[in-house]
A = this chain, B = another copy of it.
Amino acid sequence: MTLLNDEPLLTHDETECLADPRSGAPLYERLAEHYRRVIASGTLAPGDRMPSVRALMSQHRVSLSTAIQVFRRLEDGGWLQARPRAGYFVRRPGASKLATVAEPDIPALPEPARYVGLHERISRVIERAQAFPEALNLGGATADAALYPTGRLQALASRILRHKPTLLTEVGEDGGAAELRQAVAKRALSSGVTVSPDDVLVTSGGVEAVNLALRAVAQPGDTIAVESPAFFGLLQILESLGLRALEIPTSPTTGLSLEALDIALTACPDLKALVVVPNLQNPLGCVMPDARKAELVELCARRGIALIEDEPYRELIEPAQRALRAQPARPLKSWDRDGGVIYCASLNKVLAPGMRLGWMSSGRWHARVRLLKFAQTRHNESLAQFVAAEFIGSGAYDRHLHRLREKLRVQREASADAIGRYFPTGTRLNLPPGGLLLWVALPDGKSSDALFEAALPHGIRIAPGSIFSNSERFRSFIRLSCPAPFDERMDAAFRQLGRLAADLG
């Protein structure tokens, strides 16, 4: 439900009644209570714009200071959220009533594991999920096509093909199309990363970039530090390359624990590299504070281990969150002084999942990474690179990202709210400052594997916590995504999940 900004929500009589001084409470409190009921009843839904201060003044015949106090009360109570230059929007308080996920235990550093079992565990989950192809996919990490600039990219692709038809039939450029390398290098500048187009290597998604980075810095049998929980795809890469993983406890709010990493570096002096997702970590959704990022880069440089930065999601961090930081969240690479950071970026989550484009800047391993890429897959398919280059180089990219972030925020909040409404008491989550992933702790040690299995026959796919670590620490967690507008199907799915979770032993 959407309301025009100044449309009256109350009749004149209701306003008269609300404003009745005989009720005892101050006028602003009575008005705030009224709006709480309006929101709770669904008349104003999450994401709806709240009537403006001016509308409140004229409608309820109250002073400017009273109207402002109403907004403050509602905002403090978690009912409204201010958005710069857009006004106030409804935020149903379900999610904000959920407790946050606990911080990890630092001293309990697990042994490096080879993940031999994990690969199989992940494959089983993927296989089981594929047995229900029609299921609503809340287990993925990519938004629906409708959230990406499908029409514009299609028109662009057709136009580029008309002008350069030989893109399909000519050998592409080693290292990637110069146009795309220039476009991403230029854009990286605005996030504090200084790379020349020659430093950029275009890859087949971020996954290939991380593969190449690991192959460049490590040999089979080596140990690599990773966040815990970590993206299961990373754990698959490590196992497929014969690498051992050392899980470093990671905070759901501030990211990788530097204290734990320090302990690990002492306990395991032959650690070859660290792979980290500092901005919107998968699955936690946390953003590492900039001061900790700088400290991490310095620590790795001092200890002489390669720092592999995986960054598929940074552009999805909310502007509001950014504003708090006075500047956009920066990549680790922006603090790199000696080429010790291998930066791996991807356009899959932010622009076009079907185009499979990633890129990397490999610091002092550049020559080796280039050779490995050439021997592994040569260069990327050409057309998508030209399409992405032109789109990224235009203002359309920022406009798209702005819309995408807005939509994801609404979807994220509506999903979090549904969890608050439908999931059993004791369920915990941290609402991340961007992206489409929610990391949810089920209460009472309930098994997420059991919930995963129980949900499939109901046509719902989720990602169980067990695939994000080789340990059992996350067996009560699930990763849920909110890839599409929160419609009735989504609502029903969350309700069903909540019921199934409550029914678990």
Contacts and interface: CB of A to CB of B under 8 A. Distances in A.
Nearest to A147: B169
A158 B162 CA distance: 9
Contacts of A220: 219-220, 242
Given A154-B161, A204-B378, A354-B382, 12 more contacts: A119-B371, A145-B166, A145-B170, A157-B168, A167-B354, A168-B352, A172-B356, A208-B377, A220-B220, A376-B376, A381-B384, A383-B383
Nearest to A203: B377
B168 A150 contact: yes
Contacts of A215: 240
Contact of A376 (B240, B357, B379, B380): B240
A196 B166 CA distance: 32
Contacts of A171: 140, 142, 353-354
Nearest to A167: B354
The prevalent SS among residues of A at the interface is: helix
A348 to B, nearest CB: 8
A207 interface: yes
Contact of A383 (B211, B236, B354, B376): B354
A450 interface: no
A123 interface: yes
A107 interface: no
A165 interface: yes
Contacts of A136: none
Max chain B C-beta neighbours (<10 A), residue from A123, A149, A172, A356? A356
Contact of A384 (B208, B233, B236, B383): B383
A219 B158 CA distance: 44
Contacts of A150: 165-166, 168-169
B353 A170 contact: yes
